[in-house]
A = this chain, B = another copy of it.
């Protein structure tokens, strides 16, 4: 008698981290349910990557949930605030940048929780990482722990002792480790997209591009997105 594969929802932006999560979930034997967000972000290029990655990991479903966080604004990604360019790693490491979107990961995780409960998925993968990171408060392990309590206490499955498990395989890794882990898991990095600015090619100057470049450099791996230039 064959057993139905266990299911995991993967929050998939199409960036380096979430893509690595999707491959890891698949390599752990999960049927992947991919969930992406068209939330009014500055560019939609990342959703093209998310679509390609969902196909690459053979996601059984890929939902793009649409809503408009520009109604609230308060971020360089959702309002008319310039994205900082050309910052040093020291500057990137200081404080919470203007690209922080208020409450974003709580919103994303809540939708992920809803999707997971509705489909009977036992795990919810999110590619937060607190090292070499953006400085976002909603990428820290203490935030994830708090959200795990939300999943335990605020859902039907949670009250039945089967809370959706929030899985953060990258939380304690550097970007270089994420690059190497991705290669080991079969990630095709040419499918991913990290840049906040967009266009046909990454800008190379926003925090997301700089963190990505540092990750590939430290891993001594060539970023296929950059070699295409």
A residues touching B (Cβ–Cβ < 8 Å)? 63, 65-69, 71-75, 96, 100-107, 109-111, 113-115, 117-119, 137-138, 140, 142-143, 146-147, 149-150, 152-156, 158-159
Quick one: which of B74, B103, B118, B159 contacts A110, CB cutoff 8 A?
B103
User: What secondary structure prevails in chain A residues at the interface with B?
Assistant: helix
- A118 B72 Cβ-Cβ under 8 A: yes
Give the number of times this chain occurs in the complex, counting copies. 2
A194–B27 Cα gap in the complex (Å)? 47
A103–B102 Cα gap in the complex (Å)? 19
Which residue of chain B lies nearest to A138 when distances are taken between CB atoms in the complex? B154
- A114 B63 Cβ-Cβ under 8 A: no
List, in ascending order, chain B residues with CB within 8 A of A105's CB. 154
List, in ascending order, chain B residues with CB within 8 A of A153's CB. 137, 140, 142-143, 146
- A137 B118 Cβ-Cβ under 8 A: no
